[in-house]
Amino acid sequence: MLVAAQTQASDAAREQTKAEQDVDQVRQRAARDQQRLESGVGISAKDLANLQSEVASLAKRQADLEDVVLEVMERLEGAQERVTEITGRVSALESKLADATARRDAATGELDAEAAKTAKDREVVVASMPADLMALYEKIRVKQGGVGAARLYQRRCEGCRLELDMAEINEIKAAARDQVVRHDNCGRILVRTADSGI
């Protein structure tokens, strides 16, 4: 949109320059003819009549060309106003983009810092877990697209979102608190909490 407006303004400016040059040429020719007419030296009556006719014709031509110059100037002014308006809108959008980019970069930095902290926290937790449990977790995590353990919430596995049947609930109730229990449907390790519903 801005490029189109700039092109229109540029075209109108070139057109105005050309029209002004045409006016100047006609004006100069009319001035020369007027001088010859006023001097009257060595001009026959027939040439004098032709010269008067040409001066009148050049005056009309000059007036027509000046009208063209005015029309082109109006179009140029409109095109320049449009360029100014669009440039302002582009500047405002660039400012908003710069602000959004800065906010995005700040949020990305915060997320990166949080991810680094979570990774360190995870390392501590992993180091405290039995190796065989971590091996099982990693195997399930790879198989299940990144989620190897899920919270058991209100008798529902939050990994696959399915509700456990009564047989599974009874098995989990009977299991020791430190025993690893898994969901029969998805195979994920179920993490029991106070709101597990069992």
Q: What residues does each domain of the chain span? A: 2-111, 131-192
Q: What is the pLDDT of residues 117-158, one digit of tens each?
A: 999 998 999 899 999 999 999 999 999 989 999 999 999 999
Secondary structure (3-state) at 190:
strand
In the predicted model, is pLDDT for residue 17 greater than 90?
Answer: no
pLDDT of residue 55: 79
Q: Which residue has the higher pLDDT, 188 or 44?
A: 188
The mean pLDDT of the chain is: 89
pLDDT digits (tens, 9 = 90+) for 95-116: 999 999 999 999 999 999 999 9
Helix (H, G, I), strand (E, B) or coil at 156: strand
| pLDDT score for 44 | 72
Tokens in use for 149? 């353990």
DSSP letter for 188, please.
P
Yes or no: say if 30 and 76 are a contact pair by the CB < 8 Å rule: no
pLDDT at 42 over 80: no
CA–CA distances in Å: residue 198 to residues 26, 27, 121, 145, 192: 102, 103, 29, 27, 9
164-176 average pLDDT score: 92
**Through-space distance between the first and last CA atoms of the chain, rounded to whole angstroms:** 64
Contact (CB, 8 A) for 139 and 182: no
Most confident of the ranges 46-55, 68-77, 155-164: 155-164
- The better pLDDT of the pair 186, 30 is held by 186
Reduced DSSP (H G I as helix, E B as strand, rest coil) percent helix, strand, coil of the chain, to 5: 75, 5, 20
Specify which of 37-41, 100-104, 127-131, 170-174 reaches the highest per-range mean pLDDT. Answer: 100-104
Distance (Å, rounded) from C-alpha 161 to C-alpha 151? 10
Binning pLDDT at 50, 70 and 90, where does residue 169 land?
Answer: very high
